[in-house]
Every structure is written in C-alpha cells, then in structure tokens.
Amino acid sequence: MKTLPMLAVAAAIGTLALPALAADAAFDGRVEGLARSWAHVNYEVKDKAAQANEAARLAADADALAHQYPNRAEPLVWEAISTATEAGAKGGLGGLALAKTAKGLLERAEKINPSALGDGSVYTSLGSLYAQVPGFPVGFGDAKKARAYLAKALAANPRGVDPNFFQGDFLMRQGDYAGAAAALERALAAPARPGREVADRGRKGEASTLLAEVRTKLRS
C-alpha cells in the first residue's frame, strides 16, 4: 500500500510531461523544417535574386522561432546560416553587412549553447565566415579565428561533411593544398544525414568541385 502514493506521483509526473514532450517535438519539427528549407534555397534556387529573397524569408521564420524560444540556440543558428546565404547571394557591401549580422547571431547562439544542433554548426558557421569575409579594413575576416573555430568544429564532428568541407576551403585559401585535399576527401566520405539528402548532395558536390581545383594546384 505504501507504494501507491509513489505510483500516483509517478503517473502524475508522466501526465504533466506529455505537453512538454509534445512541445519539444513541435520545436524539433520546426527546426528540421528550417534545415530542409535552407537546403532547398541554397542548392535548388539558382537565380541569385530569388535566392536572396527566399533566404531573407527563411531568416525571418527562424527569427520568429528564436523569439518564441529565447533560450534555444538552434533557431539563431539557422537564422545566421540563412542570413549568410542571403549575403552570398547579394554580394557587395550589402552582403558584407548581412555577414556581420550572421556573425552576431552565431555569437549569441554560442553563448546559449555552442553544441546546438549537435554537429558543430555554431563553430563551423563562425569559422567559415571568418575565413571567407574580407579582413580589416573592409570586413571582419580573420584567418587565425577561422582556424580556431574550424578546429573546434572538427573536434565536435570529425567526420561531418560541413566542418571538413569548410576546413578544406579554408586550407585552400591559405595555400595548404595537401591539407585541403585531405579535408575535402573526408567531406566526400562523410556519412549520410537522414532527412538532409538535399544538403548532403549539394555540399558533396561543392566538395568534389573544390577538390578538383585543389588537385590541379597540387599537380602544378
């Protein structure tokens, strides 16, 4: 008989937990939706003006989710990634301003949870921005910071397609063609991500193209 109150408490806790589980599932579903939408925008929308517009809309969706869940870093990461995609599509000074916005969003995400999304995305995205944006006085690009963030990304996700691709891209920019080739080969060998087929196909296509350039450099 003494166990009955405990069982009742356990049952009550289980009942109370159901709405929380449902809320978590809804949040996860929306984050996954952002990931799928970004892959479509980044890899399947070919017109740059249309891509910039779609990326801006996706960033707005991620921003709305970030306001709804202010203690979660995942929406901020996707808002930053979408904003960076818009920056790349626009280019020029407008693109540079958007890249700076993306960096700020990622820094906010890093303070909340640097392990958000579980694949080193915060570090990968910051590293790629520091690697690709021009340095002072034009922009905030910084090879030392790029190297440090990409090292953290690879420590978090050593077999991942994204950290290895951006490591390869960075090392090529630095003239380390052998290191770039090794990283890009790892990117091409990265395991598939269920539900991320479009992103995997697109990123590995980029890795294959860049690897061909790197191999040309190595032969010359």
Residue 16 in any domain: the answer is no
Residue 167 in any domain: the answer is no
CB 184 within 8 A of CB 216: no
For 219, other C-beta atoms within 10 Å of its C-beta total 7
CB 124 within 8 A of CB 166: yes
Residue 56 in any domain: the answer is yes
pLDDT band at 22 (very low <50, low <70, confident <90, very high): low
Mean pLDDT of 94-105: 97
pLDDT in tens, 101-152: 999 999 999 999 999 999 999 999 999 999 999 999 999 999 999 999 999 9
Q: What is the pTM of this model?
A: 0.89
The residue segments making up the domain with residue 99 are 27-120
Quick one: 218 exposed, middle or buried, by C-beta within 10 A (0-12, 13-18, 19+)?
Answer: exposed
Residue 109 in any domain: the answer is yes
User: What is d(CA 212, CA 214) in angstroms, rounded to the nearest whole number?
Assistant: 5
Residue 147 in any domain: the answer is no
pLDDT in tens, 46-69: 999 999 999 999 999 999 999 999
Give the pLDDT score at 15.
Answer: 52
Long-range contacts of 94-100 (CB under 8 A, 24+ apart): 96/133, 96/134, 96/138, 96/139, 99/129, 99/133, 99/139, 99/140, 100/139, 100/140
pLDDT in tens, 137-190: 999 999 999 999 999 999 999 999 999 999 999 999 999 999 999 999 999 999
Domain count, the chain: 1
Mean pLDDT of 185-212: 98
Q: Which residues have a Cβ under 8 Å from the Cβ of 208 and sit 6 or more positions away?
A: 188
Which residues on neighbouring strands pair with residue 135, listed in sequence order? 141
Looking at residue 192, what DSSP letter applies? Answer: P
Residue 66 in any domain: the answer is yes
Residue 94 in any domain: the answer is yes
Mean pLDDT of 74-93: 97
Q: Which amino acid is at 91?
A: G
Residue 86 in any domain: the answer is yes
Q: What is the DSSP string of 33-59?
A: HHHHHHHHHHHH--SHHHHHHHHHHHH
